[in-house]
């Protein structure tokens, strides 16, 4: 069984995590990093714009975002505008697709399946939407995904709304969808949800869906810290 190594970064600014992803990707492309790495993180408030996106879906000015303490970043993942903030669990697998016997479509389907299974563990029925990627509960979007692939190495990944302030989503058209309602596990369950509990369950679902064994390992992160 192939091993994936999980690095739990806690709460981290988007730029720091983005730079860390790119460092791991470069090392894997250069065959200097044989391990498949999974970064798990909550981001400080940020709006990200994917490759197909622009600021047309933003309902407020960049200046207003700055005054609200929300960063704005254009990134290389697929998809359009989305928001990340505390209480949202973001998972970035940096893995070799070929070594894991996956093509891009199988991988994307797998990320959706991971979120669906994790939601089920908490009593929520998540489903796919044939027209829009991500995971939905009762017509409301609860999980998003956007990936990038460089020479067969994946980065970026999935974002599951656990127990977060959903109001910033109202500043944009999330994922380019007009009138979409965003939701969270806490909102659907009507009670608080411990993100630590969700992390433990999502690891089990990564194992099951991708046929791997996810190991908690701080070593890769410490090595990258030392590299600076």
Catalytically active residues are 175
129/99 Cα distance (integer angstroms) = 29
150/82 Cα distance (integer angstroms) = 22
Token pair belonging to 57:
């879906």
159/165 Cα distance (integer angstroms) = 14
Long-range contacts from 29-34, C-beta under 8 angstroms, 24+ separation: 29/150, 29/151, 29/153, 33/220
2/214 Cα distance (integer angstroms) = 9
98/43 Cα distance (integer angstroms) = 29
Q: Please, which residues have CB within 8 angstroms of residue 31's CB and are 6 or more apart in sequence?
A: none
């Amino acid at each position: 069984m192939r091993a994936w190594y999980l690095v739990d970064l806690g709460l981290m600014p988007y730029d720091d995590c983005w730079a860390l992803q790119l460092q791991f990707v470069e090392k894997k492309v250069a065959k200097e990093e044989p391990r498949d790495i999974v970064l798990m993180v909550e981001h400080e408030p940020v709006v990200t714009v994917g490759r197909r996106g622009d600021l047309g879906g933003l309902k407020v000015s960049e200046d207003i975002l700055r005054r609200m303490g929300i960063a704005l970043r254009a990134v290389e993942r697929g998809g359009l505008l989305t928001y990340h903030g505390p209480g949202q669990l973001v998972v970035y697998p940096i893995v070799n697709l070929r070594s894991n016997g996956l093509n891009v479509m199988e991988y994307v389907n797998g990320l959706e399946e991971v979120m669906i299974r994790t939601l089920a563990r908490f009593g929520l029925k998540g489903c796919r939407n044939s027209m829009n990627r991500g995971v939905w509960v009762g017509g409301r979007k609860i999980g998003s995904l956007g990936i990038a692939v460089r020479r067969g190495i994946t980065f970026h990944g999935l974002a599951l709304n656990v127990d977060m302030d959903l109001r910033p989503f109202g500043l944009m058209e999330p994922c380019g969808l007009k009138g979409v309602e965003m939701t969270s596990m806490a909102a659907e369950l009507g009670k608080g949800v411990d993100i630590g509990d969700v992390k433990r369950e999502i690891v089990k679902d990564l194992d099951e869906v991708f046929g791997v064994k996810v190991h908690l390992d701080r070593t890769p992160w410490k090595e990258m810290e030392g590299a600076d």
